[in-house]
């Protein structure tokens, strides 16, 4: 099973992403990666590694990613073997994407995109999402939110996805269709010791509980734009909606091995 974590705020994002990925290890995975918006350079930077999260951490020690907005992913291979290239996040131009689920029509979409000049770097179904979003922005000049909303009708399958772009810094756009995805609400008085406005996204609440217990569950068809100081949610028709907030009462220890070698005895 795959896992998603995302953060936008004022903290150094890489430790937040790595902590979230470690808390998702119990789901199983064969590779991991992060994408971070480097505000100083004005660029997206991506680091991916086949194998355990420790390998990704080692890579980042030598090549640190600095920023306060980013997304991370643990992958369990479905389309494409475990490898650095097939690990998420996937990047196309100014866009980086992480995705849980299966895009059933990815081969047709991939062929169409390649015919129009897109160059693919992986064997995965997920990479088509990044290329579709990049192509939508390039063709229409729209923002990241509108691009994600625009490409979703072309996808057949299931998805929980998160996208960032160096052309639209400070925000994460997420979408859900038959795969779990939630938003963690941070900030002073809301999150756990939140120093400033901040928000999170994740496929599993376990990734967020060190930072907040206030979450909003997205519904199928929802698309959301998450910034440090705001969350906007839209339904499948593009209408702005409000989803209920809930507080998670269980402890993050419930999703950890607590000294045991395995999660199952």
Under the banding of pLDDT at 50, 70 and 90, the label for residue 7 is: very high
Q: Is the pLDDT of residue 157 over 80?
A: yes
- Confidence category of residue 77, pLDDT binned at 50, 70, 90: low
Superfamily of domain 3-244 in the CATH hierarchy: Aminohydrolase, N-terminal nucleophile (Ntn) domain (3.60.20.10)
- Percent of the chain whose pLDDT exceeds 70: 89
At 88, is the secondary structure helix, strand, or coil?
Answer: coil
Q: How confident is the model at residue 258 (pLDDT cuts 50, 70, 90)?
A: very low
- pLDDT band, very low/low/confident/very high, at 140 (cuts 50, 70, 90): very high
Distance CA 96, CA 243 (A): 26
pLDDT at 98: 97
C-alpha closest to that of 113 among 82, 83, 173, 154: 154
pTM: 0.92
Sort residue 248 into left (φ over 0), alpha (ψ -120 to 50) or beta. Answer: beta
- For residue 141, what pLDDT is reported? 95
Band (pLDDT 50/70/90 cuts) for residue 62 is confident
Distance (Å, whole) CA 91 – CA 89: 6
Residue that has been written with the tokens 């015919």 in this structure: 115
CA 58 to chain centre: 21
Euclidean distance between CA atoms 156 and 239, whole angstroms:
22
The 3-state DSSP class for residue 247 equals strand
Q: Where are the domains of the chain?
A: 3-244
Cβ contacts of 242-248, under 8 Å, gap ≥ 24: 243/216, 243/217, 243/218, 243/219, 244/216, 244/217, 245/185, 245/214, 245/215, 245/216, 246/214, 246/215, 246/216, 246/217, 247/213, 247/214, 247/215, 248/205, 248/209, 248/213, 248/214, 248/215
43: tokens are: 């660029």
State the DSSP H helix or E strand holding residue 148, giving kind and residue range, or none if neither. helix 144-151
Mean pLDDT on 178-192 = 89
- How high is the pLDDT of residue 106? 96
Question: Is the predicted pLDDT of residue 47 greater than 70, yes or no?
Answer: yes
Write the pLDDT tens digit of every residue in 90-123.
999 999 999 999 999 999 999 999 999 999 999 9
Residues 4, 129: Cα–Cα separation, whole Å: 15
Q: Give the pLDDT mean for 14-40.
A: 90
């Amino acid at each position: 099973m795959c896992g998603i974590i995302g953060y936008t705020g004022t903290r150094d994002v890489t430790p937040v992403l790595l902590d979230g990925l470690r808390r998702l290890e119990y789901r199983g995975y064969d590779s991991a990666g992060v994408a971070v918006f480097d505000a100083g350079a004005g660029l997206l930077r991506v680091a991916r590694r086949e194998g355990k999260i420790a390998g990704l951490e080692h890579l980042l020690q030598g090549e640190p990613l600095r920023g306060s907005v980013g997304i991370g992913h643990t992958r369990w291979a479905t389309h494409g073997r475990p490898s650095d290239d097939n690990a998420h996040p996937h990047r196309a131009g100014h866009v980086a994407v992480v995705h849980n689920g299966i895009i059933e029509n990815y081969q047709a979409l991939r062929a169409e995109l390649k015919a129009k000049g897109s160059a693919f770097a992986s064997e995965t179904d997920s990479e088509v999402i990044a290329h579709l979003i990049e192509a939508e922005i390039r063709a229409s000049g729209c923002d990241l939110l509108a691009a994600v909303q625009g490409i979703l009708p072309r996808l057949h399958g299931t998805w929980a996805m998160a996208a960032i772009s160096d052309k639209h810094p400070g925000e994460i756009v997420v979408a859900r269709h038959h795969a779990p995805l939630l938003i963690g609400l941070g900030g002073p008085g809301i999150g756990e010791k939140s120093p400033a406005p901040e928000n999170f996204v994740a496929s599993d609440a376990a990734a967020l509980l060190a930072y907040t217990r206030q979450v909003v569950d997205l519904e199928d068809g929802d698309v959301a734009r998450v910034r440090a100081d705001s969350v906007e949610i839209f339904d499948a028709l593009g209408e702005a909606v409000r989803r209920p907030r809930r507080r998670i009462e269980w402890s993050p220890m419930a999703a950890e091995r607590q000294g045991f070698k395995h999660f199952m005895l």
